[in-house]
Amino acid sequence: MPPLKTFRLTKELVQERAVDNVIIVTFGNFAFMDFILTWVKHLTDLGVYNLLVGAMDTKLLEALYWKGVPAFDMESHMSTVDVGWGSPTFHKMGREKVLLIDAILPFGVELLMCDTDMVWLKNPLPYLARYPEADVLTSSDQVVPTVIDDSLDIWQQVGAAYNIGIFHWRPTESAKKLAREWKEMLLADEKIWDQNGFNDIVRKQLGPSVDEDSGLVYAFDGNLKLGILPASIFCSGHTYFVQAMYQQLRLEPYAVHTTFQYAGTEGKRHRLREGMVFYDPPEYFDVPGGFLSFKPSIPKSLLFDGEHNIQSHFTLINYQMKQIRTALAIATVLDRTLVMPPLWCRMDRLWFPHPGVLEGSLTRQPFLCPLDHVFEINIMLKELPEDEFGPRIGIREYSFLDNPLMPKQVKDSWLDVQLCQVGSKDCQLSNSTNSKGVLRLPKHSNEETLKGVFSNFKDIRVIQFSSMQDAFLGFTDQAREDRFRNRMKRYVGIWCCTADHDPGHIYYDMYWDEKPNWKPVPPQTAEEDHPPL
């Protein structure tokens, strides 16, 4: 590998990579390597190669170099581990972004700056070129559509924050001045979050419109021409994964950024996997022990009957949660990785009180909700001490078996399991399949039964149950049962939030069905404000 100094960010490096005087940049540390490779692959698959990745540690720089990804050294000596949202290191990363913008604009190139937790689904460069007068085009956290076509969002109607996870800068004097002032503001006060700083400074002056047609607005110092990218196609984690706004408006999305989610970096990765837009290595799709999946059965009434309210939402979630709990138990007995089912919600989840869905948004009720709305994905994927929580249970996203990256040998190695009522015709305990290749399994099977029945099918990659209702009677060993329960209790999070009470969050309870008087209500006292015991 060449010496580090050859990876410095220089005008020559940037101009060498730029096409039509545009460069696309992201940056991160080694913890985000898989996000970065996904980001790069989406662009190169779209035929876009004018990209550069800023490496915040030499471990990432080396890895990218050997993979042939054009990278530069940011000399920031970051730690190689994941930095949590809002942490001091997270704020430091934010300052790196403005330093980069301030460094690259004087090179005279247009800069499309991206966070690593977003992916490109369509080449954005022709879209950005439609607004040659714009100094800055930014994405936003807008959740209510202001336009129904692919024009810029109407600036007067965008009440949400501008989001700096995706924004495009032209090397104009106004843009350079903005970058310089934003940089000075952040360096003078380390408590300011970079995005809040950007919003404050850009909105110092907002208006009037530049002209009648373009959608651009004068901002910042009255000279900067700003455009707000439409949230329907430059999607947030809400407009893409919750509302599917682009589908409802029959538009093609350009990008998705994993904002509006609740389980840290693992939650972001899981969302991209649910959307089948994350690139995992082959070993992700074929693990030792194989996979377990099931068809969730949900009565139509739980989805559609009555009002959409807290009670009906929790009734629906609890019904699904009980089946998932059973599936996780069978997965651990058979030592298989569970493919989670699609999850249906009647109420959105946010950080603040709301009436169920955001007013003016296109969220349908019920809707297919991301797993992190209910489950603590970061805990599910964490290594917990086995003596207290039992063995780790691998999980996969609900769309896993439909992923085009799924190898044929896994898809073709499949066993259908049909639950049957003991005593009914053809419902005998057997470890062989019937003439249709289906295994019939008596309901209320215990741990020993399951192990015995499925010992013949260890080489089968995917076992799919027709249902999980009443499939499992329980563990033989009480200590194992206790460890499993400890694990399950940590798997679910909160719904947020009702306006009628403070605090307004309500805890999900994996064992709600064992508590006769269980009701979905917020903690009534500070002492009650903890996950269910």
In a domain, 523, yes or no: yes
Does 294 map to a domain?
A: yes
Same domain as 221, residue 126: yes
Residue 1 lies in a domain: yes
Q: What radius of gyration, in Å, describes the C-alpha atoms of the chain?
A: 26
Q: For residue 277, give the amino acid letter.
A: V
Is 1 in the same domain as 82?
yes
The domain tally of the chain equals 3
Residue 260 region by backbone torsions, left for phi larger than 0, else alpha for psi between -120 and 50, else beta: left
Residue 70, in any domain of the structure: yes
> From CA 114, how far away is CA 27, in angstroms rounded?
8
Sheet holding 291-294, edge to edge: 395-396, 337-339, 291-294, 462-465, 414-420, 438-442
Considering the domain boundaries, does residue 375 fall inside one? yes
Neighbour count for residue 58 (Cβ, 10 Å): 18
276 and 211 co-located in one domain: no
pLDDT at 95: 86
Are residues 101 and 157 both part of a single domain? no
| 4 & 81 share domain | yes
Q: What is the DSSP letter of 477?
A: S
Q: What angle do CA 12, 16, 20 make, to 5 degrees?
A: 120
265 shares a domain with 157: no
Question: Is the bond into 366 cis (omega within 30 degrees of 0)?
Answer: yes
Instruction: Give the per-residue pLDDT at 190.
Output: 86
Looking at the domain assignment, is residue 533 inside a domain?
no
pLDDT at 437: 84
The answer to whether the beta carbons of residues 80 and 29 sit under 8 Å apart is: yes
What lies within 8 Å, CB to CB, of 422 at 6+ separation is 442, 443, 444
Both 211 and 273 in one domain: the answer is no
Cα pseudo-dihedral 499, 503, 507, 512, rounded to 10: -80
23/55 same-domain check: yes
CA separation for the pair 235, 40 (Å, rounded): 18
Q: Are strands 337-339 and 291-294 parallel, antiparallel or unpaired?
A: parallel
Q: What is the pLDDT of residue 86?
A: 53
Tokens 């994905």 belong to: 377
Query: Do residue 235 and residue 285 come from a single domain?
Result: no
Q: Where does residue 359 rank: exposed (0-12), middle (13-18), buried (19+ CB within 10 A)?
A: exposed
What per-residue confidence (pLDDT) applies to 206?
97
- For 454-499, strand residue ranges (E) read 462-465, 472-474, 494-495
Backbone angles phi, psi at 225, to 5 degrees: -100, 115
Judgement on whether residues 210 and 140 belong to the same structural domain of the protein: yes
The pLDDT of residue 230 is 98
From residue 174, give the alpha-carbon distance in Å to each of 72, 222, 323. 27, 9, 57
pTM to 2 decimal places = 0.95
Residue at which a domain ends, from 101, 116, 131: 116
Nearest Cα neighbor of 506 from 531, 525, 479 is 531
CATH number of the CATH domain containing 50:
3.40.50
216, 242, 260 - which closes a domain: 260
Asked if the peptide bond before residue 2 counts as cis, ω within 30 degrees of 0, the response is no
**104 and 150 together in one domain:** no
Residue 137 in any domain: the answer is yes
- Block means of pLDDT (10 residues each) for the chain, 533 residues, are 92 97 96 97 98 95 97 74 55 80 96 98 98 98 98 98 98 98 93 94 97 97 98 98 98 98 96 98 96 96 97 98 98 98 98 96 98 98 96 98 96 95 86 85 95 94 97 95 97 96 96 95 95 92
E strand residue ranges, 118-180: 118-120, 136-140, 162-169
CB 183, CB 99: distance < 8 Å: yes
Q: Tell me which residue range forms the domain holding 431.
A: 261-528
Among 210, 230, 260, the domain-final residue is 260
* One domain, residues 198 and 225: yes
- Cα separations in angstroms, 78 against 45, 55, 157: 30, 9, 39
